[in-house]
Structure 1
Amino acid sequence: MNIWKIISLLIVIQFIMATATEPLVLIGGALADENEAIYQQIINFGGGNQKARIGVITAGSDPQDAKANAEYYCNLFRGYGVYDCSWIPIDLDHKENNQDPQVLSLIAQMTAFFFGGGDQERISECFFNSHEDSPALSLIRKLHTEQNVVISGSSAGTTIMQGNYMVTGGESYNAVTQDKPHSYIDDNYPDDLSYDPYPGFNIFTLGLLDTHFSQRGREGRMIRLLDFSRISYGFGIDENTALVINGTKGKVIGEGGVWVFNMKKINEKKDELRASDWEIDNVLGSYLTLDDEYDFTTNSITFASWKSSLYGREIHNHPMTPTDDIFSSPNNSELKDRRNPNEMEIVSCDLFDSKGSDTYGLTYEDDPTYEVDLTKDRDQGADGYQGYFNDINYYAFENLKIDIFRY
């Protein structure tokens, strides 16, 4: 083997090592008690029912609820037959425990960790000391990297796993209309897109993360933050759904799906008459559902074997009527409970099950109105997939072209 082949091989090995990760179970929030597949996945990574010792961390909770929330999760894990489950007692009222020898000893005994939801800023405050790893976080990180101890999280417990530009709040409409994302939460404009100027745990290093994704119409805020940060990939995880990562691949389990946004081919647009408006086109969005796999080394998707391409077998002649609530606005209801959850996912899947090539949606808010154009372009690799599993109909797709601009 000549020297150039050796160098090429070393580069490939180095790239695979950079994209490989120890086991992670990243859950999009609202995890149902009866979602056996996700709970059992965590237990299996932890050594199985007879060996797993689950450490539950509820630092994201209000401190007065942290212990009760941990006991709730432990009871669920015990109900699934886990060998042992313990609360790791670190919360806003007990931050000093992040260096307590007894707590560190407890952490060292665990074979799996579960971070509950709440507020990722609380988790950050509890596990960093002056923006440096606390002894507790250092130990969890060491167990994860050296002993393959699984780390799982739900909602805020997933969001904290990323590095720079961790999202801290905001609605999609505000994200696409505001001047730029804030590095702080603005109490006067709580729906504006904001991010933490300091990184999260940086355990997931392959892109941005967000949760409660389709249900709360977070596509716009993810795309805006990706563009602002110049990060190439973003992963938005639906409620009661998990992205299970082991090595270089991630697999979707659970009820919903995972959006993947690819910013490699974007074009930013500026209207000469409205130079301050943010607009973007040629974002590529994919949506993976049950049993679909994502390869982080090639950024490619393998759809479940029981799903088939929709190309040539679409049900509808035309896409559904364009929506006027593409980002599932909370303002479209007096109760702020989102009259149209999952709207962009629904519109996108319908497009792939129609013979049409494009559709669009408008924002519910109209000062100004923004438009989202969706195009399936086979020259860019767009394709939809569909299949039944346990009598449930699942859709998935890849490389949907997304353009966002002022209407």
Structure 2
Amino acid sequence: MEIKGKLIIIGGAVDKGSFTENDIDVNASKNINFFETGILKRIINEARHKEKSRIEIITTASKIPKIIGPEYVKALSYLGANNVDVLYLDKREQASDANVLERIKAADVVMFTGGDQLRLTSILGGTAMHDLMLEKYHNEDFIYAGTSAGAAAASNSMIYQGSSSEALLKGEVKITSGLGLIDGVIIDTHFVQRGRIGRLFQAVVGNPKVLGIGLGEDTGLLITNGTEMEAIGSGLVILVDGREVKDTNLTQVELGQPISINHLVTHVMSKYDTFNLKTHKMQIKSSQYAEDLGIPTD
């Protein structure tokens, strides 16, 4: 079934600038490259009505929603998007409120901030709002954007806990159900800075059919039709493909013991590279073989 919506998942630490000071223009000039070509600008450009699109910022995952929400409003306003508001939800019953549902119905974009992804799934999972978002994502020109926790929660399977330093010890990575916008992947965030590749290795070796996606800081993926992924932002996306794993000791060792894995395939994506979830083929935009492959280089 064709998916009409778009999914934009971001690794966290989005370089949106900070507008808490009075010298907005000075701060903006320090982030001009981001404002022109960065992730928030891309979200606006992909949205149905561009700068006029209705955008709802959802801060449920955050412990400081009253601070982080207005920051996003200011950053998006600087980029020309002024039809933006913050939807504060911290109780499950709020997610079935008629006013909340009307706001989600009217939204062209919902953007979930960082924080704790388990808060997102425990508060919003299975609610009328969750069902409405899934319906819009499948049937309308609608964007689900999520950074950090908002990204991790987007898939069917979700990592919610696990030490980076001990991630390849059996049982250290905890997985539960996410919001279910995309199947066949599992997403980890703040990937490069916090050294989380071991967490993704363990998640994938336990279910090699699932593609592991590790999102670096200020880096994301634009996913269209549920299959075509394009790297956006300034950093790296690491993909972990377990379909060709030849051997592991996962089922033989006790909890807390190191895991061995033979032949785990990884890919590294940067800006404009693409990966197809159906074919599992990656295309490097600036490939050294671009001419032979017939890839446009402009």
Q: What is the match of residue 57 of structure 1?
A: 58
In structure 2, give the amino acid aligned to 1:47: R
Aligned pairs (5 A) from 1:128-277 = 128=125, 133-164=126-157, 166-177=158-169, 180-181=170-171, 192-196=172-176, 199-247=177-225, 248-270=227-249, 277=258
- Kindly report structure 1 stretches of 4+ aligned residues shifted beyond 4 Å: 273-277
Q: Does the CA-based 8 Å contact 1:155-1:212 persist in structure 2?
A: yes
Instruction: Report whether the alignment pairs 1:298 with 2:279.
Output: yes
Q: CA deviation at 1:109?
A: 1.3
- Matched ranges for 1:70-81 at <5 A: 70-81=69-80
Deviation at 1:120, TM superposition (A): 0.2
* SS of 1:176 mapped into structure 2: coil
Equivalent position amino acid for 1:224 in 2: Q
Selected match of 2:106 from 97, 105, 109 = 109
Question: What's the C-alpha RMSD, in Å, of the aligned pairs?
Answer: 2.5
What displacement does 1:270 show?
Answer: 4.4
Q: Which residue matches 1:379?
A: none
Structure 2 CA distance for partners of 1:277 and 1:97, relative to 1, 3 Å: closer
CA distances 1:37-74 after superposition (whole Å, capped 9, x unpaired): 21122112222444211110010011xx2133211111
Offset at residue 294 of structure 1 (A): 0.6
**Structure of larger gyration radius:** 1
Distance in 2 between residues matched to 1:296 and 1:120, nearest whole Å: 24
| Mean CA deviation greater in 24-33 or 227-236 | 227-236
Secondary structure of residue in 2 paired with 1:308: coil
1:61-98 CA distances to partner (integer Å, 9 max, x unpaired)? 11xx213321111111111101400111212xx43211
Instruction: Look up the equivalent residue of 1:116 and give its one-letter code.
Output: T
Three-state SS of the structure 2 residue aligned to 1:161 is coil
Q: TM-score with structure 1 length normalisation? A: 0.62
CA contact (8 A) 2:209 2:243 kept: no
Match of 2:260 among 264, 279, 296: 279
The one-character-per-residue Cα deviations of 1:237-265 (angstroms, maximum 9, x if unpaired) are 11100111112311111111111111111
Change (3 A) 1:21 1:287: farther
For the 8 Å contact 1:89–1:103, the answer to whether it is kept is: no
Distance in 2, matches of 1:113 and 1:287, equals 28
Instruction: Tell me the equivalent position of 1:401.
Output: none
User: What's 1:118 paired with?
Assistant: 115
Amino acid at match of 1:146: N
- The residue identity in structure 1 corresponding to 2:166 is N
3-state DSSP of counterpart to 1:298:
coil
Asked if the contact 1:48–1:82 (Cα under 8 Å) also holds between the matched residues in 2, the reply is no
Question: Which position in structure 1 is the counterpart of 2:269?
Answer: 288
CA distance in 2, matches of 1:175, 1:229: 16
TM-superposed CA distance for 1:173, in Å, is: 3.7
Give the Å deviation of 1:269: 4.1
Compared CA separation, residues 268 and 112, structure 1 to 2 (3 A): same
Instruction: Give 1:268 deviation, angstroms.
Output: 2.2
Q: Comparing both structures, which one devotes a greater share of its residues to strand? A: 1
Measured at CA, do residues 215 and 115 of structure 1 come closer, stay the same or move farther in structure 2, by a change above 3 Å?
A: same
**In structure 2, what residue type is equivalent to 1:308?**
Q
CA contact (8 A) 2:70 2:86 kept: yes
1:158 is displaced (CA, Å) by: 0.1
Q: For residues 170 and 90 of structure 1, what CA distance do their matches in structure 2 show?
A: 26
1:59 counterpart SS class: coil
1:25 paired residue among 8, 26, 38: 8
Q: Is contact 2:48-2:141 (8 Å) kept?
A: no
CA distance in 1, matches of 2:40, 2:203: 31
Instruction: Give the match for residue 40 of structure 2.
Output: 39
Amino acid at match of 2:194: R
Q: What is the DSSP-based 3-state SS (H/G/I as helix, E as strand, rest coil) of the residue aligned with 1:74?
A: helix
Matches of 1:21 and 1:216 in 2, distance apart? Answer: 34
Take 2:97 and 2:183, find their aligned partners in 1: how far apart are those partners?
29
Q: 1: distance between equivalents of 2:184 and 2:209?
A: 9
Letter in 2 for 1:210: D
Contact preservation (8 Å) 2:7, 2:222: yes
For residues 86 and 267 of structure 1, the distance between their equivalents in structure 2, rounded to whole angstroms, comes to 50
- Identity value in percent: 25
Unaligned runs of 5+ in 2: 17-30, 290-297
- The amino acid that maps onto 1:195 is I
Q: Secondary structure at the match of 2:183?
A: coil
In structure 1, the residue matched to 2:86 is 87
1:258-407 correspondence runs (5 A): 258-270=237-249, 277-304=258-285, 306-308=286-288
TM-score normalised by the chain length of structure 2: 0.83
